[in-house]
Amino acid sequence: MRIGELASRTGVSVRSLRYYEEQGLLVSTRSASGQRHYTDDAVERVTLIQRLYAAGLSSRTVAEVLPCVDSPSEDTSDAALERMAQERDRLSAHIADLVRTRDALDELMAVNRAHREKLRASPVG
């Protein structure tokens, strides 16, 4: 498929797809006229890239990790494995943090709702 189709299938802009390629995250074959062509696999790959971005990995880090997706049969470097472990831990910590923040939001909402109830009961405040 060409880049436009990949874009609409993944919901990622054409611009971003070219950027991913520039960063070495996504490969394409080129037609004689220079147009990018992708296999169906690219859809999944783009989704994964987005997922990793959303998890806070930089494109540099994503580039380090993706080879392990492509060819786990090759000798995965210590560095890559370590990087994955490191990112996993960072991600875990981040998730825990977000959960705490969500709890804080919940409590904030509860407090404010409670005050409203009180206000409704005795409108003087």
Partner DNA sequence: CTGAAAGCTCACATGAATGTCAGAGGAAAG
Partner DNA sequence: CTTTCCTCTGACATTCATGTGAGCTTTCAG
Positions that interact with a second copy (CB under 8 A): 48, 51-52, 54-55, 65, 68-69, 72-73, 75-76, 80-81, 84-85, 87-88, 91-92, 94-95, 97-102, 104-106, 108-109, 111-113, 115-116, 119, 125
| Among the listed residues 2, 100, 113, 116, the single contact to DNA using CB under 7 A | 2
Contacts of 42-47 with CB under 8 Å at 24 or more apart are: 42/1, 42/6, 43/6, 43/9, 43/10, 45/69, 46/6, 46/10, 46/12, 46/17, 46/20, 47/10
Site for DNA in 3-42 (CB under 7 A): 3-5, 7, 12-16, 18-20, 23, 28, 31-36
Cα 56 to the center of its chain, rounded Å: 7
Task: Please give the residue ranges that form the binding site for DNA (CB under 7 A).
Answer: 2-5, 7, 12-16, 18-20, 23, 28, 31-36, 50, 53, 58-60
